[in-house]
Amino acid sequence: MEPQDVYYSKAEYVETASGNKVSRQTVLCGSQNIVLHGKVIVQSDAIIRGDLANVRTGRYCIISKNAIIRPPFKKFSRGLGRRCVLKDCCYIEDGAVVPPETVVPSFTRFAGNPAKCVEDLPECTLDLMLEFTKNYYQHFLPSTA
């Protein structure tokens, strides 16, 4: 099944040399600590908190509308950190709140508040996610109007 084209206003997005498409409505805190590794789409009203610590994405990531991306830890004066670990090929549902010090295992889907495992995913999830994100990027096109 071929994905449908998604059109965006060229005036609303900035496209970088590495193919990242970032909405002008995005809040980037501590932009010097944010690394998008190419072909990343950051949609409107997303917040990326690079002011807390470094934030890095892989290629072909999609950061949806109203998403908040924070680093897995914050440095406190006492050296304490509250950490979450997201393993490879996990899926966090919209609106899920992952509690501090939670480890989200590979090939799982988490949902709810607090977030809990609601499904084990098949091992082909990596291939499916890569195919989906590449197709989404290829069909995320500037409008001609």
Could you list the pLDDT tens digit for every one of the 145 residues in the chain?
A: 677 999 999 999 999 999 999 999 999 999 999 999 999 999 999 999 999 888 888 899 999 998 888 876 645 443 223 677 778 888 888 888 888 888 889 999 999 888 899 999 998 988 988 899 999 999 999 998 6
Residue 7's pLDDT is 95
* C-alpha closest to that of 20 among 44, 36, 4: 36
Note whether residue 143 is domain-resident: no
Which residue has tokens 């607090």?
A: 114
Residue 73's pLDDT is 60
Note whether residue 110 is domain-resident: yes
**Exposure class string for 56-93: b at 16+ Cβ within 10 A, else e:** ebebbbbbeeebebbbeeeeeeeeeeeebebeebbbbe
Note whether residue 98 is domain-resident: yes
Cβ(137)–Cβ(60) below 8 Å: yes
Q: Return the SS3 of 129.
A: helix
Note whether residue 113 is domain-resident: yes
Count of domains observed in the chain: 1
Q: How far apart are CA 128 and CA 56, in angstroms?
A: 22
Q: How far apart are CA 77 and CA 5, in angstroms?
A: 48
pTM: 0.73
Q: Which domain holds residue 116?
A: 8-138
Q: Which CATH number covers residue 40?
A: 2.160.10.10
